[in-house]
C-alpha cells in the first residue's frame, strides 16, 4: 500500500452489521493525495474478519491485520503503526465518515499547517447538513473548553500527523477513558513540535457517531470507574493549568468532573454485581471518601462553583447521590427540585454558570 495523504485506522470487533457502511464511507472519500484504510480485526468471533478480507481483495487501498482479542487500544496501536500516510484518522467500525469529510479536514490543515484540526459529529445517519469550510479557532488556552464542548475526549474527530501519532500509544491497561489519555499525550507532543499551534475546529459534523449501539464501553458497567476517572481528570486538569485556561472554563470543568464522578458512584449502587446491597453501599461510600474528591470539592468551594452534586458528595450521602442521579437519568422533576434546594441551602450566591 503506497503512501496516501490520509490513512483511516478502524478497530474491528463484532461489527458485521455496520462494517460495510463504515468502509464504504472511507473509500468513497475524494482526497487530494489519496486515502487508504487499515482494518484491524481484533479476534472478532463473527464474520467481521471475513468482511475485512473481502474488502482488501477488491480494493488495494485496504490493508487488513488480524490479531487475537487484545482490546480496542491494542487494535488502534497496531493499525497506527501500520499506517503509511501524511495524516491519520481513527474511525470506529460502527460509525461512518460523511461525504467530503476528509478533504474538508485536509483543507483546514493545509490552511493552517501548525494547527490541530478537529471537527464536530452527528448522531443522525440521515444528516444532510452540507460539509463546508467553516472553522472556529480555539487558542491553546481553550483546552478545557474543548472538553466542555464534547470535542476533546474521543480519538475519532481529529486529524493527526501520522509521524507524531506513531510516537504515542493508547494505554492498553485502561478499559475506560483511554482515548482522553491518548489525545492529551498527542497534544503534549504536538506542543513540543509546534509550540504556537491553535485548535482549528470544523463546524460541519464530519463523522456519523452511531449512538444506537448497545453493549459498548459507554454502556457497560465498570467496577473501577471511580478509580479510573480521577486519574484521567488529574491529567486533564494539569494540562489545562499548564496552558492557563480561563478561570470560568476551569470552574465549569470542575463541575463537569464532579458530575461524572457522582454519577459513577450512583452507578455502583445501581449496577454493581455484588449480591448484597450493603456491599454496594460500602463501595459507593468508599468512593465518596477519596482524597481526590475531597480536593475537588475544596477547589469548587474556593471557586464558589455550585453543582447539584456538591452537597450530596460533601455530606458523603450515598442515598442522596443515588436519588439525584436516578432523577436526572429518568428525567424526573425531582432532580431540579433537589438541585435548587441545595443551591439555596448554600446561600444562593454560588455560581451556576
**Per-residue cell: 3:** 503512501
Contacts of 13 (CB under 8 A, 6+ apart): 41, 42, 43, 44, 48, 69, 72, 75, 93
From the list 349, 248, 259, the residue with the least C-alpha distance to 307 is: 259
Radius of gyration of the chain (CA): 22
In this prediction, residue 213 carries a pLDDT of: 60
Residue 92 has pLDDT above 60, yes or no: yes
- pLDDT (0 to 100) of residue 214: 47
Name the DSSP class of 176: S
Give the burial class of 36: count Cβ atoms within 10 A of its Cβ; 0-12 exposed, 13-18 middle, 19 or more buried: buried
Identify the pLDDT of residue 217. 38
Domain boundary assignment for the chain:
4-208, 225-345
Residue 216 has pLDDT above 50, yes or no: no
Distance CA 34, CA 231 (A): 39
- Would you say the pTM of this structure is higher than 0.75? yes
4-208 CATH choice from 3.40.50.300, 3.40.50.720, 3.40.50.10800, 3.90.550.10: 3.90.550.10
Q: Are the C-beta atoms of 95 and 209 separated by less than 8 Å? A: yes
**Does residue 108 surpass a pLDDT of 80?**
yes
What pLDDT was estimated at residue 211? 78
For residue 63, count CB atoms less than 10 angstroms from its CB and return exposed for 0-12, middle for 13-18, buried for 19 or more: buried
Q: Which three cell numbers stand for residue 274?
A: 455484588
Percentage of residues in the chain having pLDDT higher than 70: 97
Q: What is the per-residue pLDDT for 263?
A: 96
- The answer to whether 86 and 161 are in contact (CB under 8 A) is yes
List the grid coordinates of 82.
Answer: 501500520
Q: Across the chain, what does the average pLDDT equal? A: 94
Residues 293-327: tens digit of each pLDDT = 999 999 999 999 999 999 999 999 999 999 999 99
Name the E strands within the chain.
4-12, 35-42, 62-67, 85-90, 96-97, 116-122, 135-138, 158-161, 199-208
Amino acid at each position: 500500500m503506497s503512501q496516501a495523504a490520509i490513512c483511516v485506522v478502524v478497530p474491528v470487533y463484532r461489527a458485521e452489521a455496520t462494517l460495510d457502511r463504515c468502509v464504504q464511507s472511507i473509500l468513497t472519500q475524494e482526497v487530494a493525495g489519496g486515502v487508504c484504510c487499515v482494518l484491524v480485526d481484533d479476534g472478532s468471533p463473527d464474520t467481521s474478519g471475513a468482511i475485512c478480507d473481502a474488502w482488501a481483495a477488491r480494493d488495494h487501498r485496504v490493508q487488513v491485520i488480524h490479531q487475537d482479542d487484545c482490546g480496542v487500544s491494542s487494535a488502534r496501536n497496531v493499525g497506527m503503526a501500520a499506517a503509511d500516510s501524511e495524516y491519520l484518522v481513527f474511525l470506529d467500525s460502527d460509525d461512518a465518515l460523511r461525504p467530503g469529510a476528509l478533504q474538508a479536514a485536509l483543507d483546514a490543515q493545509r490552511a493552517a499547517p501548525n494547527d490541530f484540526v478537529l471537527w464536530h459529529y452527528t448522531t443522525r445517519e440521515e444528516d444532510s447538513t452540507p460539509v463546508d469550510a467553516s472553522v472556529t479557532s480555539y487558542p491553546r488556552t481553550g483546552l478545557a473548553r474543548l472538553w466542555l464542548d464534547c470535542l476533546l475526549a474521543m480519538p475519532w474527530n481529529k486529524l493527526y500527523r501520522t509521524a507524531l501519532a506513531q510516537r504515542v500509544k493508547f494505554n492498553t491497561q485502561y478499559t475506560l477513558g483511554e482515548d482522553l489519555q491518548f489525545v492529551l499525550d498527542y497534544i503534549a507532543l504536538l506542543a513540543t513540535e509546534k509550540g504556537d499551534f491553535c485548535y482549528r475546529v470544523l463546524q460541519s459534523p464530519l463523522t456519523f457517531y452511531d449512538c444506537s449501539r448497545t453493549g459498548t464501553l459507554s454502556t457497560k458497567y465498570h467496577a473501577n470507574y471511580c478509580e479510573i476517572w480521577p486519574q484521567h481528570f488529574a491529567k486533564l486538569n494539569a494540562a489545562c493549568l499548564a496552558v492557563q485556561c480561563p478561570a470560568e472554563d476551569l470552574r465549569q470543568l470542575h463541575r463537569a468532573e464532579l458530575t461524572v464522578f457522582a454519577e459513577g458512584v450512583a452507578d455502583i449502587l445501581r449496577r454493581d454485581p455484588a449480591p448484597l446491597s450493603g456491599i454496594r453501599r460500602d463501595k459507593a461510600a468508599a468512593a465518596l471518601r477519596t482524597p481526590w474528591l475531597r480536593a475537588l470539592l475544596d477547589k469548587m468551594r474556593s471557586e464558589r462553583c455550585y453543582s447539584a452534586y456538591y452537597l450530596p458528595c460533601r455530606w458523603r450521602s450515598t442515598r442522596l447521590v443515588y436519588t439525584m442521579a436516578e432523577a436526572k437519568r429518568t428525567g424526573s422533576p425531582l432532580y431540579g427540585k433537589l438541585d435548587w434546594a441545595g443551591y439555596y441551602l448554600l446561600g444562593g450566591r454560588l455560581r451556576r454558570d
